[in-house]
Every structure is written in structure tokens, then in C-alpha cells.
Structure 1
Amino acid sequence: MSWTDIGALNDIPLRGARIVKTVAGCIAVFRTAEEEVFATSNKCAHKGGPLAEGIVHGKSVTCPLHNWVYSLETGEAQGADEGQIATYPIRIEDGRLLLDVSTVAARSAA
């Protein structure tokens, strides 16, 4: 794994998100109310909606366009919706967010 510092945890509000631009496109980085962080594709599998603008609840995000709900842990659509978004390894170290860029690069080459 190749961990890269992408910013401070406190740059993302609780139950909020920020976008990180990468070679694979925009990645949404989410922070839950429980101080957990997750990184996923920013595009909804349904119509490409901007997930970083969605509502974070528990370990899920709801797309702002058509209310599709995705697990932030697995990327799978929940409920009656079918589809999946990419997820990326991310961790917190000393208040900083570290993203595994080797995974991002590998997915962009596929």
C-alpha cells in the first residue's frame, strides 16, 4: 500500500464529505458522526449523482439526486436499489487522513 496524506480529519465536518481529485476521478471522503472515515467514488451508480453532496447517516450515504443509499463500508446499494460504487482504503493517523493511492491508481488502469 502507498499511503498519501490528503488533509486533516477536522477539514471534514461530522456527517459531511469532501472531494479529492485523483487520476481515477473524484473520490468522496466521508466522516460519520462516530468519527469514522470512508472513501468512495463520488459518482452514484444510478445516474452519476455527486455523492459528496449527499446525506451521511450511520455508515451510509444517500445520493442527492434520486435517494439511492450506499454502504460506505462496502459500496453496495441498499434496499431495493441494485448497484455498487468503488471504495478505497483510508485511515486516520495523528489527525491526518491517509488514502491508499496505489489502489486508486490500480482501479484507474483497469
Structure 2
Amino acid sequence: MSDWKAICRLDDIPVLGARRVMRPAGLDVAVFRNAEDQVFALLDRCPHKGGPLSQGIVFGTSVACPLHNWAIGLDDGCARSPDEGCTPKFAVKLEDGMVHLDAGELATHALDLERPVAGPRVLSPLPLGEG
């Protein structure tokens, strides 16, 4: 049996938008709301280049990554063809106007993925006198 954690009221999530849920360990979780008031939860990381899906545009049951416009399915976390790749999804339920996430999943799911680092790759400097 799941232990559900109340996250926010449905009205706290903008229609066609998202809200980020920080975790003590691992990357944030993005909770999305579509035009039909359905809620979905994905790791806040595009499978392509790690863009923050919570900043994307929700349409139907997909979200467009803000970096390269990949369409990611909110129901399964997978990129729509012709793109490929998936981001982890989280169990979510809506009850009496409150959005809940599975507490066990929040504590254990997808903890091994790293946040992408923006900017150019930093190379180790050469010792003085070399190069």
C-alpha cells in the first residue's frame, strides 16, 4: 500500500503549467496540470539534454522541453517520435482537490541521475610552463 504525501492543491498548479517539488536527495520532480485538470509527475529533466521540463509548455498530455522543443509524454515520460528517450515518471493522484505523490517513490526513485551542468566544458589547466 502506498503512503501518499500531499504536495499542493490542484489550483496551485497553473493550467497548462507545472510546479517543482524539491527532494532531499535526487533531482526535483515536476508536477504538471493539463487543460482537463489531469495531473502527471515526471523527473524534472528532459531525456535529451537535461532541460527543466517544469519550464516547458504543456499541451494535451505532453510537455515541450524548453531547450530543444522535444515533446515528452506526461503519461509515460517518453519522447514522442522521431525523438527517443524517457525520463522517470512518478505516481500521482488527485483527491478532494489535493495533489499527492507516493512518498516511497519520492525517497527512492531515480536518485542516480545527475543534474546537467550548463555552459562550456571546463578542462583541467596545464601546469605552468607546459603548452
State the TM-score, normalizing by the size of structure 1: 0.94
Can you list the C-alpha shifts for 1:24-71, whole angstroms capped at 9, x where unaligned?
Answer: 320000000001000001011111101011010000001010011111
Larger relative contact order (CA 8 Å, sep ≥ 6): 1
Structure richer in helix, relative to its length:
1
Q: Tell me which amino acid in the other structure corresponds to 1:78.
A: R
Question: 1:9 corresponds to which residue?
Answer: 10
Among residues 75, 79, 84, which one is paired with 2:81 in the alignment? 79
Query: Identity over aligned residues, as a percent?
Result: 45
Counterparts of 1:50 and 1:106, CA distance in 2: 20
Can you list the C-alpha shifts for 1:59-94, whole angstroms capped at 9, x where unaligned?
Answer: 000101001111100111101111001100111111
Q: Tell me which amino acid in the other structure corresponds to 1:101.
A: A
- Aligned residue pairs: how many? 110
DSSP 3-state at the match of 1:25: coil
Larger radius of gyration, structure 1 or 2?
A: 2
Question: 1:59 corresponds to which residue?
Answer: 61
Alpha-carbon offset, residue 107 of structure 1: 1.7
Question: 2:44 corresponds to which residue?
Answer: 42
Q: Tell me which amino acid in the other structure corresponds to 1:31.
A: R
Gaps of 5+ in 2: 113-131
Counterparts of 2:68 and 2:97, CA distance in 1: 34
Question: 1:33 corresponds to which residue?
Answer: 35
Counterparts of 2:79 and 2:17, CA distance in 1: 19
**Alpha-carbon RMSD:** 1.2
Gaps of 5+ in 1: none
DSSP 3-state at the match of 2:22: strand
Q: Tell me which amino acid in the other structure corresponds to 2:63.
A: V
